[in-house]
Structure 1
Amino acid sequence: MKVFSSLPSAMDVLAGHKKWDRTFEAIRICTQLPAGPTYSVGDSLTWRIVKQEDSDKHFVARRRYQRLLYCLSGQVEYDICAHWESTQPYSDLSDTHTVVGEYSTHTLPPGNLLIVDITEGTRIRIGPDGCALLLHVTVEGHSFHNK
């Protein structure tokens, strides 16, 4: 898990690589597009605005796409578990499996960006006044220099 306190701080570390530049562009334009649909750039990036009704009921882990969460407003919390066990088989179609494990709870303030590693499970909980951008970015290509 990596949390950036602002978009510029994330750009300082990740900009200059096509998948991250596309990610930052999606974040910049997200409020100009209608909420509801999922948008994509090929098979490397998808994003959509999420609200309280989109909160996760279970922990989710992915294999091919990193899960990102950018808080737009209000209360957004996430639970994260680094060591987990699958409770449902992995689905190649959705790139997800439901997992359980010991977790810690965190708050994501507006303007912060959370990047979840594919080795971690997450559960996103959005408050009644919360709004966030949920993105899925391919793990192929450039990653963090310390990973």
Structure 2
Amino acid sequence: MVVLKSFEEFKNIFRTGKKWIRCAEAINNIPNIKENIYYSIGDSLVYMITDSKEEKEFCGHRRYMDIFYYLEGGETIEVSPKSKLDVIEKYSDETDREYFEGTGEKVEIKEGEMVIVEIGEACKCYGNAKKLIIRVTVEDNYFLNK
């Protein structure tokens, strides 16, 4: 997990590479986004604004990493390496999700901050926040099946 204090910090660290540029493009599009509707940029990134929901299980991905940008409020995010958790629902290629139980590192995140959950990790969130969820591929710049 990478915790960033601001979008400015994100832009300073991740200023090159197509997927990072597309993440910044998604964040810059916030004024035009309707809540709870997924948008996409190419075939490598989807994003949506939504309110936090309390999650009971850890969720992990294999093809997309999660990036959360907190717009209002805050929440606790709990993250753990998948290898330290117990699988409760096997990976689905259709949803790119797998579910786990166990415990992880808890971090309090507040408005304006960003979190990157890497592919070898799973997370669960609980709190009262409005956030931009970005799912960006870890594959090169395209899907081989397209």
Q: Same fold (TM over 0.5)?
A: yes
Does 2:71 match 1:72? Answer: yes
Alignment of 1:102 with 2:103, yes or no, is yes
- Aligned residue for 1:13? 13
Deviation at 1:98, TM superposition (A): 0.4
Which 4+ stretches in 1 moved above 3 angstroms?
none
Q: Could you tell me whether the CA contact under 8 Å between 1:76 and 1:131 is conserved in 2?
A: no
Matched residue, 1:145: none
> Is this contact kept in 1: 2:33–2:48, CA < 8 A?
no
1:24 aligned partner: 24
How far the C-alpha of 1:126 sits from its partner, in A, is: 3.2
**Structural mapping, 1:35-114, within 5 Å:** 35-52=35-52, 54-82=53-81, 83-114=84-115
Cα distance between partner residues in 1 of 2:86 and 2:5: 30
1:116 paired residue number? 117
**In 2: Cα distance, 1:47 partner to 1:121 partner:** 18
- CA offsets per residue over residues 81-126 of structure 1, 9 Å max, x none? 1222211110001100001222122111111110011111100223
Q: Shift of residue 50 of structure 1?
A: 1.4
Which residue identity lines up with residue 135 of structure 1 in the other structure?
Answer: I
Distance in structure 1 (CA, Å) of the matches to 2:6 and 2:38: 23
Q: Which has the higher strand share?
A: 2
Residues 100 and 48 (structure 1), Cα distance of their counterparts in 2 relative to 1, 3 Å cut: same
CA contact (8 A) 1:51 1:126 kept: no
Q: Indicate the residue corresponding to 2:144 in structure 1.
A: none
Structure 1 gap ranges (5+): 143-147
- The answer to whether structure 1 residue 135 and structure 2 residue 120 are counterparts is no
Q: Which amino acid aligns with 1:85?
A: D
Deviations 1:19-62 (A, max 9, x none): 1111011112123221121111132101111113x443321011
Looking at structure 2, the residues matched to 115 and 36 of structure 1 have their Cα atoms a distance apart, in angstroms, of: 20
Percent of residue pairs bearing the same amino acid type: 29
Q: Normalising by the residue count of structure 1, what TM-score does the alignment of the two structures yield?
A: 0.87
